[in-house]
Structure 1
Amino acid sequence: MLLPTLLFASAMVPAWAQDTTVIQSENVRFAYAQVLRVTPVYQTLTANAVEEQCRPAASPEESESRLARVVGAVKGALGRQSEDAPSPVDCEPVTVRKEFHRPIAYDVDYVYKGSKYRSRLPDDPGNRLRIRIGVTPVVSGIRDN
C-alpha cells in the first residue's frame, strides 16, 4: 500500500512544479537625468487680516461754530501752538482679505538617454535629477497589472 502511494505522489510532483513560477528579484541601479524645465505648482491661500485704516479728522472749520473757531484761535495764540503740530487723525479697524501663493510641488521635465519624462516632485531638483532604473523580465503566464 505504501508503494502505490509513493508512486502516485512522485507522479504529481512534476505537475505541481510546472504551476509554480519563480519571480526573479528586480535589477536596480541609479543614474542621473538632465533637467530641462522646472515649473512650480502653487496653492492659493486666502486670509482675513484686520488693519487700521486712518484718514484726517474733520477740520475745525467744518465741524465747529463760528464762536468756537474764534475761541480756538485765541487759545492757540495764547498757548503759542505751533502750526506744524500734527493734525488729528481718525483711525478704525477694517477687515482686509489677502491672498498668498506658495509652491506646493514642482513639475519637472527631464531627459534620460534621449527620452523625455515629466514628474511632479516635492522639491526643485536643480540641474540634475537622480533616477532609479529597474529592470524585471516578463515571465509568461503571469498577468500584468
Structure 2
Amino acid sequence: MVRLETFSRARRRLPGALLLCLAVPALAQQGDAPASRAQENVRMEYAQVLRAEPVYQTLRATSMVERCEASTPVEDAEEKTGFARVIGAVRGALTPDPKVEEVAPSAGGECRMVPIEREFRRPIGYDVDYVHRGVKYRSRLPADPGNRVQVRVSVTPVVAGETP
C-alpha cells in the first residue's frame, strides 16, 4: 500500500518536473547572448525588374490506347490519272502504310494495345533579373512580379571583436 501512495505523489510532481526540464535550455540560451550585440535594421524597398523568364518542368506520361485495323487490306478500286495520281502519291508518302485502314473496334478488325507517350510542360517559377541601387541580382520566384519586385534590405553594424 505504501508503494501506491509514493507512485501517486510522484505522478503529481511529473508535470512540474517536465516544465522545469523544458525551461532550463531556454534560460541558458538567454545568458549566452552578448549585451553588446547590435540590433538589425530592416526596411522594405522596390527594385526594377529587368527580365522575368518562366521556368518549366517537363513531365512525360505513357498511356495505352487500343488501335484497331481492318482485317483485309484496302485496295484502290479505280485507276487514278492526272491530278488525282499526284494527290495520291503525296498522301501515300505522308501515311505510314496506305494498305492499312483504321476502323472502330465494333467493325471486327484486329485490335491491339499501343503505347502513346505524351509530354506536358508546367511552370514551376520565374527566373527574375532585377536591379537595386545599381547592382544586378537574380532570384527564382514562384510568380511573375511584374515591373518591380519588393526587396528586404537589412543593415547590421559589425561590432569590434565580434565574429559573424
**Could you list the per-position Cα deviations for residues 1-40 of structure 1 after superposition, in whole angstroms to 9, with x for gaps in the alignment?**
xxxxxxxxxxxxxxxxxxx551122111111111111122
Gaps (5+ residues) in structure 1? 1-19, 62-85
Structure 2 counterpart of 1:99, from 90, 106, 119: 119
Q: Please report how far the alpha carbon of residue 108 of structure 1 lies from its aligned counterpart in structure 2 after TM superposition.
A: 0.6
Supply the distance in 2 between the matched residues of 1:93 and 1:126 (Cα, whole angstroms): 48
Q: Please report how far the alpha carbon of residue 93 of structure 1 lies from its aligned counterpart in structure 2 after TM superposition.
A: 2.9
Contact 2:38 2:158 survives alignment (8 Å): no
Q: Please report how far the alpha carbon of residue 111 of structure 1 lies from its aligned counterpart in structure 2 after TM superposition.
A: 0.8
Amino acid at match of 1:118: R
Q: Please report how far the alpha carbon of residue 98 of structure 1 lies from its aligned counterpart in structure 2 after TM superposition.
A: 1.7
Structure 1 counterpart of 2:149, from 129, 139, 142: 129
Q: 1:23-62, aligned counterparts within 5 Å?
A: 23-58=37-72
Supply the distance in 1 between the matched residues of 2:69 and 2:123 (Cα, whole angstroms): 37
Supply the distance in 2 between the matched residues of 1:59 and 1:137 (Cα, whole angstroms): 85
TM-score, normalization by structure 1? 0.58
Contact 2:38 2:159 survives alignment (8 Å): no
Q: CA RMSD in A?
A: 2.6
Q: Please report how far the alpha carbon of residue 52 of structure 1 lies from its aligned counterpart in structure 2 after TM superposition.
A: 3.3
Tell which structure's C-alpha radius of gyration is larger. Answer: 1
Q: Partner residue of 2:140? A: 120
> Which protein is richer in strand relative to its size?
1
Q: Partner residue of 1:108? A: 128
**Could you list the per-position Cα deviations for residues 89-121 of structure 1 after superposition, in whole angstroms to 9, with x for gaps in the alignment?**
735431112222212121110011221111111
Supply the distance in 2 between the matched residues of 1:60 and 1:24 (Cα, whole angstroms): 87
Q: Please report how far the alpha carbon of residue 133 of structure 1 lies from its aligned counterpart in structure 2 after TM superposition.
A: 0.8
Contact 2:58 2:120 survives alignment (8 Å): yes
Q: Secondary structure at the match of 1:142?
A: coil
Amino acid at match of 1:93: M
Q: Secondary structure at the match of 1:25?
A: coil
Q: Please report how far the alpha carbon of residue 51 of structure 1 lies from its aligned counterpart in structure 2 after TM superposition.
A: 2.3
Supply the distance in 2 between the matched residues of 1:106 and 1:89 (Cα, whole angstroms): 52
